Amino acid sequence: MSAIAPKNTPRCAHCGIVLSAPEWSESVGENETTYLWRCTVCGHEFETKSNFVEKEPLEAELAEEFLPDLVIE
């Protein structure tokens, strides 16, 4: 279970309140997470999914991040 909410938190479809954190989350694949939301005002429940695709960093980006004093331009 994760305590980190997705980037764009949804609004309740019934009462319109912005939800701050999911009730529950589960990783369902290498890059996909399902979130269960429960409105604290009206109790409405629904699910959302997020896909995360991370790009591979370039060698120059890694060198700059981990060896900033050794990079010569």
Band of pLDDT at residue 3, cut at 50, 70 and 90: very low
For residue 2, being part of any structural domain is answered with no
Q: Which residue has the tokens 């990783």?
A: 27
CB contact set of 57 (below 8 Å; sequence gap of 6+) = 65
**What is the separation of C-alpha 28 from the centre of its chain, rounded to a whole number of angstroms?**
13
What is the span of the domain harbouring residue 44?
8-73
Read off the pLDDT of residues 10-68 as tens digits, 9 standing for 90 and up: 999 999 999 989 999 999 888 899 999 999 999 999 999 988 766 677 777 777 777 66
Report which of 31, 32, 33, 35 is spatially closest to residue 47, judged by C-alpha positions.
Answer: 35
38: number of CA atoms within 13 Å, CB side?
5
Domain count, the chain: 1
In-domain check, residue 23: yes
Q: Is 3 part of any domain? A: no
Question: Does residue 1 lie within any of the structural domains?
Answer: no
